[in-house]
Structure 1
Amino acid sequence: MADFPSVPRVGIISQARMTSTRLPGKVLMPIGGQPMLQYHVSRLREAELPIYLAITTNTTDNPLADFAADQSLPLVRGSEDDVLSRYWSCAEQYELNLIVRVTSDCPLLDGTLIRRGVEEYIRQGDARLYLSNVLERTYPRGLDFEIFSRELLAEAFQQATQPSDREHVTPFIHQNRSGRVRFRHFTRPANRSAYRLTVDTADDFELLKVLIEQHHAHQLPTDALLDLLDAHPELVALNAHIEQKKV
């Protein structure tokens, strides 16, 4: 077990870009009079941890830079395809030794869940630990987070060579390419992994728009949000046919 600081410098790094292949510009599309990204950031702030936005150097992402400035969010810009390098640049620049990875197309991601995950990680006291709710999935897509140390991030940044590893940030870590990663899974008793709360297509966006504008889902804790979906199968059906893109 590699020792981990008892009081680490923690940062939530959210990756974003305007050139999504299936729904370009989605993160700034309006819901209830404000951009979808605003809901994402507001929910993350419930974790009471620093938040960083990692975007590309493309001019198409300048509106995201403007959003970050308006929200007083620290910003890192880097390669569109080498997202791993964006995370490493952010960790280095802000001297983070515990990183929470999230993606900006998840407007209902619950910061209180992330806080619980971070507290569990710190209790474990192991810099070789990877903790997430994505490998053993019991939460819906769209409530995803991954937590790992700067040590594991550095290892991936220095050793990962496959383009898919660089684009998707964590495969080198969670596939345990080093052979020295320890895993902890953040799960819930009742499996709701079939639900989809991420925005990748127009149908995904329509569901989130209805949930937020008609049911105030952005104000609900996770359990209440899942109760809402349980009670409204007609809403779940709006994007149940969407297949997640393969990593």
Structure 2
Amino acid sequence: MTNNKVGIIVQARTGSTRLPNKMIMDIEGKTLFEHIIERLTYTNYKNDIILATTNKERDDVLVDLSRKLNISHFRGSEDDVLERFLGATKQYNLDIIVRICGDNPFVDPKCINQMVKYLIENKVDYVGSHHEKGWPGGSGSEVITKEALFRIDDLCKDIRYREHVTLFAREHQDLFKTYNLDAPLYLLRPNLKLTVDTIEDLNFVRSIYKRLYHPKKFFELREVITLIDKEPSIISN
């Protein structure tokens, strides 16, 4: 098990319907995409971060950013996100995949390390950190084995499942061994939304980064929670 190659795949595109180009919008002098990648460099897998974006010309800007950040990339279908993950998994010879959504600006490196460890030690197919277990929205991530990912591909052609890469495994626990990690008490905020879907969400995230972000200095998710508890007025309405 120690020889398994773990890779972090970040799904991102500029063609969001609700907030186009959000991935390249500015937050404290860097794009949203750059901030997500920067947080991921604090995981145990900083040397295996991969952008999974589309073949659309408009997403060339994300590929350019990935090169600037010295991370790998894979391009594929815009709608069939599973196809992108399968392609990246094969191209970079991954055994275990950490899935990150590009609208989650507060991914938690400690949580990612813990989930990968759990998956390997307990020999499960999938581990997630979702709001159902108390995690704030926008902080979560998922870990899945290569074998489970390819089984989803074999079993499911429904576009809903192929867009939401791991949903089929989560909804069919008779076919997959899954585990959902409980949020620690100090992070227990299932109703807190930290994802970036609208301009209001983006401005909320900007206000947090303005207070907590310093280049070369990582701020933890618990610091975000503490800030919001102290200054609840910064939450977007």
TM-score range, shorter chain: over 0.9
Say which of 9, 13, 21 aligns to 1:17: 13
Structure 2 unaligned runs (5+)? Answer: none
Aligned to 1:60: 58
CA contact (8 A) 2:133 2:183 kept: no
- Structure 1 runs (4+) deviating above 4 angstroms are none
Given the alignment of the two structures, is residue 214 of structure 1 paired with residue 218 of structure 2, yes or no?
no
Higher mean C-alpha deviation, range 209-218 or range 47-56: 209-218
Q: Deviations over 1:90-139 (max 9, x none)?
A: 11111111111111112221222211211122111x1x421101273311
Pairs within 5 Å for 1:1-247: 5-49=1-45, 50-124=48-122, 126=123, 128-134=124-130, 136-176=132-172, 179-190=174-185, 191-216=188-213, 219-236=218-235, 238-239=236-237
CA contact (8 A) 2:9 2:50 kept: yes
Deviation, structure 1 residue 34: 1.2
- Is contact 1:130-1:183 (8 Å) kept? yes
Paired letter, 1:184: Y
Question: RMSD across aligned C-alpha pairs, in angstroms?
Answer: 1.6
Q: 1:108 to 1:61 in 2, by over 3 A?
A: same
Question: Distance between the aligned counterparts of 2:226 and 2:100, measured in 1?
Answer: 23
Judge which range, 149-158 or 210-219, deviates more.
210-219
Of the structure 1 ranges 23-32 and 136-145, higher mean CA displacement relative to structure 2 is found in: 136-145
Structure 2: distance between partners of 1:26 and 1:188: 28
Deviations 1:27-48 (A, max 9, x none): 1101111111111000011003
Identity %: 31
Instruction: Using structure 2 for the length normalisation, give the TM-score.
Output: 0.92
Contact kept in structure 2, 1:135 and 1:185, CA below 8 Å: no
Gaps (5+ residues) in structure 1? 240-247
User: Which range is displaced more, 190-199 or 18-27?
Assistant: 190-199
